[in-house]
A and B are shown apart, each in its own frame.
Chain A
Amino acid sequence: MSSEATTGAVASERPHRPHDGWRKWAEIAFFVTPALALMALFVAWPIITAARFSLYDWKGLGPLDDFVGFENYAEVLADDVFRDAVAHNMIIVVGSIIVQLPLGVAIALLLNRKMAGQGVLRTLIFVPYVLAEVIAGVIWFQLLQPEYGLVDALMNGIGLSPPEQGWLGTPEVALWVVLAVLTWKYLGLAVLLFLAGLQGVSEELYEAAQLDGASWWQTQWRISIPLLGPTIRTWCFLSMIGSIQCFDMIWVLTGGGPADATTTMATYLIDEGTNRHNYGIAGAASVVLFAIAFVMALVYQLVVLRRDTKEAAV
């Protein structure tokens, strides 16, 4: 309150009082324009363009004049490959959360104690997250090579038989293998964020629980996990947004194959756009991808994250 008053006093002491309104807007424009201009040109404009492309049959040559209305959408939505791609995205969204959430919470709870080497442990767990998806993908591609790869060698060593076409070459297992590699890559982020959330839980709560004779399990179940709620919900959101855009890892590991068993919406639209020059189809797929991501984000925000803001308000 007092600082407001001071600012007011400063303003009234200024010599050019009448110009202050104009000046303020000029200053705001000076600071904000570069960022907004860059985003308008390289974020907003391309997205609008994708939506425009989606209404035309355009192969990248000549003017954009073959208007087809919603035909591209009809084609995309009727395409089994695209439908499967949406399903694969959903499997990755749900699978990532189902696997990483309990594992991440469990590991974070285990590591959330004073122990020797904790710093080193955290760093090591975070290593896969720091690597580029491409680099992680190439390493796993080598590990998973049929016959010569380490995974097959280890399995043969203990008498198990890996799939004949290789892990990434067998349509029935390829998507699950990709999901496993994604889990490997992103589990560290979940652990790290959950650990950070646990650091925020006040020490007194644990002490009080211990004095009341609560067991370690009771303390974790009744105190740590409920208080981790907001962090978990935010992590789920980040994970969902990442899964819906999934591209790099799949492009490196399988390229969407075998037999389109691992396509996602992003690999589908890149394939249509760059390899086949079906810009209309790619545009329609982009809009569908954006619509799905947007609706998911909105629903999640309204249903799940609102609880956090409400709770904070109460």
Chain B
Amino acid sequence: MKSYETVIGLEVHVELATKTKIFCGCTTAFGGSPNTHCCPVCTGMPGTLPVLNKQVVEFAIAAGLATNCTITQNCKFDRKNYFYPDLPKAYQVSQLYLPICRDGGIEIEVGGVKKTIGIHEIHMEEDAGKLVHDEWDDCTLVDYNRCGVPLIEIVSDPDMRSADEVIAYLEKLKLILQYLGVSDCKMQEGSLRADINLSIREVGAPEFGTRTEMKNMNSFKAIARAIEGERKRQIEVLEYGKKVNQETRRWDDNKDTSFAMRSKEDAQDYRYFPEPDLVPIEISDEWLDTVKKRQPELRDEKMVRYETQYDIPEYDASLITSSKKLADIFEATVAICNKPKEVSNWLMVETMRLLKEHEMEPENIAFTPENLAKLIGLIDAGSINRTVAKEVFEVVFAENVDPESYVKEKGLLIVNDEGELRKTIDEIIASNPQSVEDYHNGKTKAMGFLVGQTMKAMKGKADPGMINTIVLELLQKQ
């Protein structure tokens, strides 16, 4: 078999985190009963007109700046015409001729090798509605709640060569957008969607092969599988001496294979032309500067600051900043309790463990910095020991309970009454003469047993240090 190279470019659609839709004052909130987040404008009723949401432009500029693009200071919208029930006007307001950002790129790192993935352009457009199949009546229900939600489409150059590079690119993009606050990038809610353009060519070939476009990917895992599946399929096609068709394919993650989407009965001819209902956008130098000044700290800068300002190891800083949500929790918690390393440990160890156990993403973390700070405060004050603290944290993680009231309610506070502790240890020593003897015979392990028994009797609410001291003292008196 010949040696092949995979060439991949991505079109990433990102729903912007605006409060309202791109051209009307309807909410962008996810969910809601069908067609309750709609108005005459976003449902394309006759005679209605669009008015552009300024925040959309600012988010698009922010995304462009953070991905090293050139901002098109005179840009405008175009209409993309096609019939489909999820598009009530039968045209999508988008940008073809003058997209808002061009010629950027971001650096990724795979297996220690750094590489820049070019960004061809970023354009603004409106999202379409949702179609739901109705089994009962064998028809399709049309819900326009998502219709008109602002999107940016980030079009990469065909610079990626493997699924690993694609995932690294997407992870990096996602992180940048989350740090900017431009999008929540929740793939399961469709706020980040990737279309994959993939082709195969013989290693060293000067021209690209014919590419296919794959849609319908809703997780990084599915993307990785789809790339591998499509790569193999195209190589097989070529090995049989056939040609790859330029077509759109749908990846079916359950069947682990892709299908050609029914070729549209008409040729795709979108008849783009400048949108007459919207006026051009002129982004002045001043406006650009204002957005630049407002750009938040991105991951790389944040990592450096964490190491210097909070004096935490590079490893910690890297892990915490791998998610905007984790970084936000970290900073907010440290601001309350001023214990960076302690906070970092809770996030890196227990939080990560629980996320993995529950198959959750950091974005889904429900506990508040206040409650994590309170938990750390309880340990710090010696009110609970670490074993209890871990148990309490599990509840905080699951239900965001207030740890202070929780430990009181459940009677988990450490007993600091030395008299009571002495009494318990006296009883333990009295009822375990063998252990006492063993200890005096040089078997120091026996002391550990006595300490354990005491902790058990105290139901874990005693300070281990204090138990140790008292057990040792009483043993030596024997």
- Do A and B come from the same complex? no
A-side interface residues toward B, CB under 8 Å?
none
